[in-house]
Amino acid sequence: MDDFILEMKGIGKEFPGVKALENVNFQVRRGEIHALVGENGAGKSTLMKILSGLYPYGTYGGDVVFDGQVQKFTGTRDSEKAGVAIIYQELALVKHMTIAENIYLGDEICRVKGWIDWNETYQRTAKVLKEVGLKLSPAALVIDIGVGSQQLVEIAKALSKDAKLLILDEPTAALTETETDNLLQILGSLQQKGVTCIYISHRLNEVMRIADRITVLRDGRTICTDEKASMTVDRMIHNMVGRELTNMYPRKERPVGDTVLEVKNWTVRDPVTDDVVCDDMSFKARKGEILGIAGLMGAGRTELVMSLFGVWGKRQSGEVWLEGKKLANHGAIDAISAGISLVSEDRKRYGLVLGMDVKENSTLASLDRISKLGIINKNEEIKSAGRYVKELRTKTPSLEQPVRNLSGGNQQKVVIAKWLLTRPKVLFLDEPTRGIDVGAKVEIYNIMNGLVDQGVCVVMISSELPEVLGMSDRILVVHEGRITGDLPRAEATEEKVMHCATSGS
Amino acid sequence: MNEAVKGAPSVKEGRVKDLIVDSIKHNTKQYTMFIALIAIWLTFTFLTDSVFLTARNLSNLFVQTVTTAILAIGMVLIIVAGHIDLSVGSVLGFAGAVCAMLMIKLEWGVVPSVLTTLLVGLAIGTWHGFWVAYRKVPAFIVSLASMLAFRGLIIGITGGQTQGLEMAPEGAANSFKLIGQGYLPTISAAAEGRVHDTSLYCSVAVIALFVASGLRKRAARLKYGFTVLPLKLEILRLAFLSAIIGTFAMIMVMYLGIPWSVVLVLALAVLFSFIAGNTKFGRHLYAIGGNPEAAKLSGINIPRRTLALWMIMGVMTAVAGIVYTARLNAATTSAGQNAELDAIAAAVIGGTSLLGGEGTIFGAVIGALVMASLDNGMSLMNLDITFQYVIKGLILLLAVWVDMAQRKK
């Protein structure tokens, strides 16, 4: 008989008009790392929200059995008390507090009621930090440490509460390769100490590396639960999307055209720290090609495109030439009118006005084209927005739907539509497929191909090596603010790119 | 009867039903506000033995709403863009005092005095806009500073005394009074004292314009091949809204006619609704308030838009100041005290989100009407001033809570 720490039996959950979960069975053995995978909207988050008590007992069907008992959580406090700790994709740390303050936030150590015992707090913090392998002072401010370390602080926080079951939701989405390695190692060592872990991720290679067992959800149902040994990445994808993705990266061979964009000696400083972030970078992008930009997190890739677009950094030197004309830039307004567009890395922060609807977001950067004397022609607006909803196959109930209610992939399509409506000559895509599901990824790739066919020059930043290698015609590698590699597709391999990205030669 | 025939009308009805449900869903806020207003009116009607609901009182009520409504119209845009303006009360008083002093001390005519006052408003708005947009000082502080400073300047230019406009040359004083207290004139002598003919004709013209624009919009949508309401339903909708407009107009026509100041508010409301909903400037304000970073990356010149916004607010405040002074027929040192709070409350009751990015002009005008109804009704009841303040405060709290609760759903 298996020793299950958690059994979710016959779970069903309905929202008005939608069955989010239907008869889901999910069992986690004590001490294992159990991966939960599925496309966005498959029901992973809903399932975890039931487990955490965010959807209280009585609002769902079925039973949650934790540690041998049927649990009736009515809030996250209950589940925390029972030993369930969830670490969300968007970290819930207070940036201007110290690590120690964060770890014991809401659970402060007091000798006399209401008086915080700081010595004890710092001592215990130091202990849990050691457990997760963080060599940082408990008094360091969270804002000063990297995302990877913040992730570990969250884990330390969970451990400090004696969590028996740790749930990680997309923990590596914002981490570099090294940070990811580190995190996976620490999860391994925590497992040795008896901590059970549910690992939710879109990164299937990671899942294969770390998980003992894997459960696939699709459309609110459990498709399968298997030992890792009997699972492959292809099978996982097959189960997730319910169809065979014969070609994850639908790249096409194309003739390469003239140079569209040329950047010369681009040097930019960080406006706050005054560090050089882009150091004498020069490159060309040509018509009819997808130029991939690879590198580690923090190498200066995002800073490069943001500064080229004119919205970030102190420019030190350098020129941008577009179709043989030097750009007088800068500011987003100049860049857009010259024909440069930027789909930025963080769509919620830089891309969308979440409260606005699909059509208003779509036309935000191109209102000039549909306005006369400053007055918007609303019918033209519906027409242009509607065209791209159709062309990009954005799934939305209507053009009047606030983008807040769309899934990640569809939000990304709205951002892309916004920039396509400006009719760009060069389109920068910064991590265009981050946090969106496999099916939507392929659709985004197809959109990229379509654009290149129409003569747009596409420059794509990506931290996922297979994506860069799969989609790019040429790959630039950035390391510490310098371009350390310019590899044509034929020569590029994962090893070569990683070599350039880490050692810089 | 065969299946197909039976099925056909029900399918169409279903669509119509969907459209209605859709429209209610989209406009819940407007409907709740309207219902709340009616509820307040009925309560006061009951509590004042129907005095509240007389044409005379309602007509007065509309005039009392004017200054708050003008300020609220501007305030919506300010709040939508993510700012707040605490100075409007003091600036209103200051602008009114400037106008009065020009007419009293310099014996200027109405037109140059009013124009100069509007320019003063524009200058004050530019000052605010400069600090908010180009020096990045939070609007709360910039306007708080002006709230204090202009209250002082009012005392400075009026000498700390109430300046009655009867001290101005008589001709100018009389025509200035019209802005705040006058009604559309009556042309035909026969109608004198009974029906206010121009007011009636104007109301009819407005309704005709409203219906025509509704039908034109529909035709344009049809041309583009978008879904529209079935003609019958569209006519029903227009008839219903026309009836509401008509009722409001008739109340005023039955009393002394439509006041000039109400005409002004309605014109401003229509103009600003158009600016908010149909212009690049308006759209940009909503984007800036909703997500400034995304707005910047979309090529919106935020400082320039912000400056223009504050300039508009300055002018609107001056307009409110002029109307207020004309209604009082005097400039006082306490003019406009707490007006900023009434304006903010009106905007918020009207569904404007203090987080920015959300709000409608129409809602703010209704909100102003709610605030003025409370003042008017409680005064009619002779309610102790203590309770008047407390009740207004509680109603504001309640309104925002209802709004938040609805949002959560």
Segment A293-303, tens digit of pLDDT: 998 777 889 99
- Cross-chain residue pair B290–A355, CB shorter than 8 Å: yes
Determine how many CB atoms are found less than 10 A away from the CB of residue A442. Answer: 17
Cα nearest neighbour of B297 on chain A: A332
Distance, in Å, from the CA atom of A267 to the CA atom of A319, rounded to the nearest integer, reads 9
pLDDT attached to residue B91: 98
**Contact between A292 and A491 (Cβ < 8 Å):** no
Long-range contacts of A295-298 (CB under 8 A, 24+ apart): A295/A477, A295/A478, A295/A479, A295/A501, A296/A176, A296/A177, A296/A178, A296/A463, A296/A479, A296/A501, A296/A502, A297/A147, A297/A174, A297/A175, A297/A176, A297/A179, A297/A463, A298/A146, A298/A176
Predicted confidence at residue B107, as pLDDT, reads 92
Helical axes B385-408 vs B339-349, angle rounded to 10°: 30
- pLDDT tens string for chain B (409 positions)? 333 333 333 334 446 667 667 666 666 766 778 888 889 999 999 999 989 989 899 999 999 999 999 999 999 999 999 999 999 999 999 999 999 999 999 999 999 999 999 999 999 999 999 999 999 999 999 999 999 999 999 999 999 999 999 998 988 999 999 999 888 887 765 555 566 778 888 899 999 999 999 899 888 888 887 777 788 888 888 898 899 889 888 888 888 888 999 999 999 999 999 999 999 999 999 999 999 999 999 999 999 999 999 999 999 999 999 999 999 999 999 999 999 999 999 999 888 988 899 999 999 999 999 999 999 999 999 999 999 999 989 988 988 888 777 766 5
Tokens of B362: 């129409």
Mutate to test the interface with A, among B297, B301, B302 (most CBs of A within 10 A): B297
The whole-angstrom separation of Cα B354 and Cα B358 is: 8
Does pLDDT of A135 surpass 90? no
Helix (H, G, I), strand (E, B) or coil at A76: helix
**Residue B85 touches chain A, beta carbons under 8 Å:** no
Calculate the CA dihedral of residues A138, A142, A146, A149 and round it to 10 degrees: 50
Q: If you count residue pairs, one on A and one on B, with CB atoms under 8 Å apart, how many are there?
A: 79
Instruction: Nearest by CB to B301, from A333, A368, A418: name it.
Output: A333
CA atoms within 13 A on the CB side of A70: 8
Question: Is the separation of the CB atoms in A99 and A136 below 8 Å?
Answer: yes
Task: Report in angstroms the alpha-carbon separations of A384 from A58, A335, A360, A399, B221.
Answer: 45, 22, 11, 11, 14
The SS3 of residue A442 is: helix
- What confidence category does residue A145 fall into, taking pLDDT thresholds of 50, 70 and 90? confident
Quick one: pLDDT at residue B326?
Answer: 96
Instruction: Judge contact between B314 and B125, C-beta under 8 A.
Output: yes
Q: Are the beta carbons of B293 and B105 closer than 8 angstroms? A: no
Give Rg (Cα) of chain B. Answer: 23
Residue A418: closest CA among A452, A394, A434, A445 = A394
For residue B299, the distance in angstroms to the closest alpha carbon of chain A comes to: 4
Q: Which of A352, A356, A400 sits opposite B286 (nearest CB)?
A: A356
pLDDT level of residue A148 (50, 70, 90 thresholds): confident
CA-based nearest residue to B326, from B166, B184, B169: B166
The tens digit of pLDDT for each residue in A304-351 reads: 999 999 888 888 889 999 998 998 766 899 999 999 999 998 899 999
The Cα angle at residue A498 between residues A493 and A503, in degrees rounded to 5: 135
Percent of chain A with pLDDT over 70: 96
Mean pLDDT for the stretch of residues A361-372: 94
Our separate counts of H helices and E strands in chain A read 16, 22
Task: Report the percent of chain A where pLDDT is more than 90.
Answer: 43
The H or E element containing residue A169 is: strand A165-169
Distance CA A159, CA B326 (A): 70
Is B291 close to A349, i.e. CB distance below 8 A? yes
Q: Quick one: pLDDT at residue A239?
A: 84
* Measured torsion, CA atoms of residues B110, B111, B112, B113, in degrees rounded to the nearest 10: 40
| Contact B290/A at CB under 8 A | yes
Average pLDDT over residues A459-477: 90
Mean pLDDT across chain A? 88
Q: Which pLDDT score, from 0 to 100, does residue B26 have?
A: 65
Kindly state the tokens that stand for B146: 């002006």
Question: Which among A350, A356, A375 has CB closest to B278?
Answer: A375
| Cα–Cα dist A449/A451, whole Å | 5
Cβ–Cβ gap A344/B297 under 8 Å:
yes
Angle (nearest 5°) at CA B12 between B9 and B18: 140
Q: Is B335 in contact with B155 (CB distance < 8 Å)?
A: no
How close does chain A come to B300, measured CA to CA in Å?
7
Short-list A10, A66, A69, A3, CA closest to A32: A3
**In angstroms, rounded to a whole number, what is the distance separating the alpha carbons of residues A13 and A22?**
7
**How far apart (Å, rounded) are the C-alpha atoms in residues A322 and A335?**
10
- Considering only CA atoms, which of B5, B140, B95 is closest in space to residue B326? B95
- Among A311, A312, A353, A405, most B C-beta atoms within 10 A, so best to mutate, is A353
Chain-chain contact of A311 with B357 (C-beta, under 8 angstroms)? no
Instruction: Name the one residue in this structure whose structure tokens are 């005394």.
Output: B161
Q: Which residue has the higher pLDDT, A161 or B259?
A: B259
Task: Measure CB to CB from residue A376 to each of B26, B283, B290 and give the nearest one.
Answer: B283
Q: What pTM value is reported for the model? A: 0.81
Greater confidence, A388 or B188?
A: A388
Closest to A440 measured CA to CA, from A395, A384, A401, A399: A395
Mean pLDDT, residues A246-274 taken together: 85
CA atoms within 13 A on the CB side of B157: 22
Tokens 């420019």, located at residue: A315
**Measured distance CA(A497)–CA(A470) in Å, rounded:** 13
Tell me the chain A residues in contact with residue B294 when contact means C-beta distances shorter than 8 Å.
Answer: 349-353, 364
Give the residues across from A33 on adjacent strands: A197
How far is it, in rounded angstroms, from Cα A76 to Cα A52?
A: 5
Write the DSSP symbol of residue A357.
B
Residue B192 has a pLDDT of: 55
Q: How confident is the model at residue A395 (pLDDT cuts 50, 70, 90)?
A: confident
CA distance B29 to chain A (A): 15
Q: Is A176's pLDDT higher than 80?
A: no
Q: Are the beta carbons of B294 and A349 separated by less than 8 Å?
A: yes
Residue A357, min C-alpha distance to chain B (Å) = 11
- A332, A374, A378 member nearest B281 (Cβ): A374
Of B286, B299, B358, the CB nearest to A333: B299
Side-by-side strand order, sheet with A69-70: A18-29, A4-15, A61-66, A69-70
Helix or strand holding residue A31 (H, E)? none
Contact of B408 with chain A, judged by CB distance below 8 Å, is answered with no
Subunit contact A400:B357, Cβ cutoff 8 A: no
Is A242:A303 a contact under the CB 8 Å cutoff? no
Query: Measured between CA atoms, how close is A437 to chain B, in angstroms?
Result: 23
Burial environment of residue B408 by CB neighbours within 10 A (0 to 12, 13 to 18, 19 or more): exposed
Instruction: Please name the residue that has the structure tokens 């009740």.
Output: B391
What would the mean pLDDT of A115-142 be, rounded to a whole number? 90
Provide the residue type at A181 as one letter: D
Tell me the C-alpha distance between A183 and A195, whole Å.
14
Closest partner residue to B294 among A335, A336, A352, by Cβ? A352
Does B213 touch chain A if contact means CB atoms closer than 8 Å?
no
Q: Which residue of B has its CA nearest to A402?
A: B26
